[in-house]
Amino acid sequence: MRAAGGVVISAAGVRRSFGGVEVLRGVDLAVSPGEFVTLSGPSGSGKTALLAILCGFDVPDAGSVRPGPVAWSACAVLPQSLGLATELTLEENVALPLRLRGLPTDPVAGVLAELGIADLGSRYPAQVSFGQQQRAALARAVVARPSALLADEPTAHLDAVSADAAIALLRGVADDGAAVLVATHHDAVHAAADRVLELADGRIGTGLRRTTT
Ligand SMILES: Nc1ncnc2c1ncn2[C@@H]1O[C@H](COP(=O)(O)OP(=O)(O)OP(=O)(O)O)[C@@H](O)[C@H]1O
Ligand SMILES: [Mg+2]
């Protein structure tokens, strides 16, 4: 099933200061439907701050962004802090975006299986490892086939095998027509991307184009 829409992720002249320190100093970027783009940059360079603005969690001091605050079906978010509901099982967490849209929950089992956590669906987040929680949060982000996906270090707590499954899933979401932007420190994620954007000194440097096969 292809993603609905054709949502572009974009930022133009985005500036954001925290406590008098300007972290984002005029960020420009665009991710087209069907593109898988990664965002690199040292810890503290502003990747999470930028993603928060792109999805409408935070408001820039100057500049404009898309998609901004929109429905989950249009833009799914995988926060660095995961944001799983602790009172729901993994299965219920992943089903949430579908239930909120009144859609059948059939895709849940398949996505959990793809990420190797099919047997953990009935457990609560506190009853699984952090890497397993991370995979559940990724499953929840992709299950409703969003038109845009913003993921913050989605492989940070995963071993190589689980990370490969996560990367394949992200690649698949883009191949289905979504615009995908992923902040990451992992070379394997950058290697799977169409382009790598470097956030340095509050701005995006030249994107390195990669060829995908
Ligand atoms: N809400 C906030 N209040 C104050 N300072 C903030 C806030 N959000 C971010 N910052 C500061 O902005 C800078 C960028 O933080 P951010 O979390 O975006 O970095 P990052 O590139 O995502 O780092 P990491 O790779 O460690 O996740 C940091 O210096 C951080 O302390
Ligand atoms: Mg971050």
Residue 132 CB partners (closer than 8 Å, separation 6+): 90, 117, 120
* pLDDT of 210: 56
Owning domain of residue 191: 9-208
Residue 213 lies in a domain: no
Confirm whether 74 is domain-assigned: yes
The answer to the question of residue 4 being in a domain is no
In this structure, the strands spanning 203-204 and 75-78 are unpaired
pLDDT (0 to 100) of residue 79? 86
What per-residue confidence (pLDDT) applies to 213?
42
Output the domain CATH number for residue 119: 3.40.50.300
Identify the pLDDT of residue 208: 57
Q: What is the DSSP letter of 165?
A: H
Task: Report how far Cα 155 is from the mean position of its chain's Cα atoms.
Answer: 11
Nearest-atom index, ligand 1, CA of 49 = 18
Q: Ligand 2 center to residue 82 CA distance, Å?
A: 12
Task: Specify if 106 maps to a domain.
Answer: yes
Q: For the chain, which ranges sit under pLDDT 50?
A: 1-3, 211-213
The secondary structure of 87-130 as a DSSP string is TS-HHHHHHHHHHHTT---THHHHHHHHTT-GGGTTS-GGGS-H
What pLDDT, on a 0 to 100 scale, did the predictor assign at position 76?
A: 86
pLDDT in tens, 52-87: 999 988 999 999 998 877 766 678 889 888 999 999
Compute the distance from residue 50 Cα to the ligand 1 centre, in Å.
9
Ligand 1 center from residue 18 Cα (angstroms): 9
pTM of the model: 0.92
Question: What pLDDT does 203 receive?
Answer: 96
Q: Do the beta carbons of residue 86 and residue 126 sit within 8 Å?
A: yes
- Count: domains in the chain: 1
Atom 29, ligand 1: residue with shortest CA distance:
44
DSSP 44: T
Q: Could you tell which of 21, 48, 157, 201 is best to mutate to test the pocket of ligand 1, judged by most ligand atoms within 8 Å of the CB? A: 48
> Closest residue (by CA) to atom 2 of ligand 1?
18
Is residue 138 in a domain? yes
In a domain, 117, yes or no: yes
Q: What angle in degrees, to the nearest 10, is found between the helix axes of 130-142 and 90-100?
A: 20
Residue 193 lies in a domain: yes
Asked whether residue 3 is domain-assigned, the answer is no
